Amino acid sequence: MGAKDRRMASRLAYHYFRMGNAAGQSEFPLQLAIAEFLCSEESTVAELLLPALYPAIHAPLDEKVALLEKHTPFRFLEVFPLLDQLSAGIDPRRFVLGLFEQPDLFLRLRPRYAANVIATLERAGIDFRRVGDFTVALPNGTALARIPGLAGNYEVQDYSSQQTGRFFRASSGESWWDACAGAGGKSLLLLDSYPGVQLLVSDMRGSILRNLDERFQAAGIQSYRQKIIDFTKKDTAAVLGREQFDGIILDVPCSGSGTWGRTPEMIAAFQAGAIRRFGALQRQIAGQVVKHLKPGKPLIYITCSVFAEENEGVVRYLQDHHHLHLEHMEVLQGYHHRADSMFAARLIMKRL
């Protein structure tokens, strides 16, 4: 295929998956036409197979959904499985409508370079939207690497992920642990806001920690400690002894259901039993980590899931079994910002 064909095939596949389980009983070409009508503003497939509806392809999503429900086998409530398992703060209708659009690409600008990034994007004629002092949104596929003068001035980080930084509230000189650090997105957010923090990063995967090292190097961060820890294999005391931290970030492995707007193939493929398995893993990891939290200090629990069992369920477990009290928890509703949806909670270790 040529580049244009590949783009078309990719677009059809993405739109098809965005429909999740809805219209699963129809013939495949009709499913594609429904998906195209729903997710785009121009489509030869929809024009051919849904000629009566096609004039409404520019209508708001709510109207397109109503038309499809009236005239085709498409059923809105069948798009997303497990609507009954959503966290309390998720608006089910807005959330499902959000799945029909690809979220934007978000940048977090390093505070001291923000003005340079904005000026460079403007000079390069890039179409972008400012979402906050240090956040910009761009259409997906914007080729940032080709623009000179930007490297090291920003991080690619989803809007909701950036919002989790509001929960940190660290102080200079404190010692913090990012216990599921991955490639370091939350660690970089922490250190950009609180450069005086002493940081330990850990993850079960050495390979992802090498990515973290590269990102830290590009950001000019040299002073941090790193360990490989798998919370299902070892008691953390074997690696950390009795070390206690002033703050712990715990961005746990999860279903990723808040990010399915970017990976819509997951909508129909996801198995309900996985929620229970993730919940059990999250409780196990959290139970190990909090042994290293000083009394009066915060655990920042984060997921990119929209399921209650992975969110409020784990918070309740920590309150009931591990002497933590809940200061604040919030579902970060990405669908208001063309972003992912996430969950964050700030829990404080009780003083004995």
Which residue ranges make up the annotated binding site for S-adenosyl-L-methionine? 203, 230, 251
- The footprint of ligand SAM on this chain (CB under 6 A) covers a number of residues equal to 17
Task: By CB under 6 A, name the one of 165, 182, 247, 279 that touches ligand SAM.
Answer: 182
Per CB under 6 A, the segment of 47-55, 168-176, 226-234, 310-318 that binds ligand SAM is 226-234
162 contacts: CB under 8 Å, gap ≥ 6: 106, 108, 132, 134, 135, 189
Amino acid at 62: D
Query: What's the gap between Cα 117 and its chain centre?
Result: 23
Per CB under 6 A, the segment of 55-63, 89-97, 180-188, 344-352 that binds ligand SAM is 180-188
What's the 3-state SS for 62-96? HHHHHHHHHHCCCCHHHCCCCHHHECCCCCHHHHH
Query: Is 230 among the residues that bind ligand SAM (CB under 6 A)?
Result: yes
Is 263 in contact with 14 (CB distance < 8 Å)? no
Per CB under 6 A, the segment of 29-37, 63-71, 224-232, 240-248 that binds ligand SAM is 224-232
Query: Is the Cβ of residue 96 or residue 191 nearer to ligand SAM in the bound state?
Result: 191
Q: Which of 39, 180, 254, 304 is catalytic?
A: 304
Is 18 in contact with 267 (CB distance < 8 Å)? yes
Of 335, 257, 261, give the one whose Cα is nearest residue 18.
261
Task: By CB under 6 A, name the one of 185, 258, 261, 279 that touches ligand SAM.
Answer: 185
- Kindly report the number of other CB atoms within 10 A of residue 149's CB atom: 13
Helix (H, G, I), strand (E, B), or coil: what is residue 339?
coil
What's the residue count for the chain?
A: 352
Residue with tokens 């090498």: 210
Known catalytic membership, residue 304: yes
- Which residues ranging from 235 to 264 are in contact with ligand SAM (CB under 6 A)? 251, 253
Query: Is the Cβ of residue 62 or residue 230 nearer to ligand SAM in the bound state?
Result: 230
Task: By CB under 6 A, name the one of 36, 78, 155, 203 that touches ligand SAM.
Answer: 203
Binding-site ranges for ligand SAM (CB under 6 A): 180-186, 203-205, 208, 229-232, 251, 253
Task: Point out the residues that are catalytic.
Answer: 304
